[in-house]
Amino acid sequence: MTAGWIGTGKVRAREDGDAVEIVIDGLTTQAKYYKPLVYEFMRKEWRGARPSWGDHVVEIRMEHVGEPPWMDLDNLAKALLDSIKGYLFHDDAQVARLVVERREGERERITIRSYPRRD
């Protein structure tokens, strides 16, 4: 990864303008695994942008190699939104646009990108 990343374990994050990008290495079929993993990263390591008010856009991309893991994307999205709530925005009711996708990639990982909505 490039400079500007915070974190050295399974979870890393960086600010990219007014957006925050979080990368989680590896996949599991248990969506509930991600909530404490990302929450603990945000609580212990994240020192970037503080939560803001207003509408936000959150994009979640799960990349897999070979057959996709058997996981409901809505459960994954809920676990990840719960883990970043209070760090990137105050309440997940502020998420005005949510995009969740699964696709084949070069490595197994999840990427979250959150930024204020601009209309």
Structural domains of the chain sorted by starting position, each given as residue range(s) with its CATH number in brackets: 11-116 (3.30.1330.70)
CA–CA gap between residue 80 and residue 103 (Å, rounded): 18
The answer to whether the CB of 55 falls within 8 A of the CB of 116 is yes
The letter for the amino acid at 38 is V
CA–CA gap between residue 117 and residue 39 (Å, rounded): 23
pTM beyond cutoff 0.95: no
Q: What is the full per-residue pLDDT of the chain (119 aa) written as tens digits?
A: 345 899 989 999 999 999 999 999 998 888 889 999 999 999 999 988 889 999 999 999 999 998 877 888 999 999 999 999 999 999 999 999 999 999 999 999 999 999 999 87
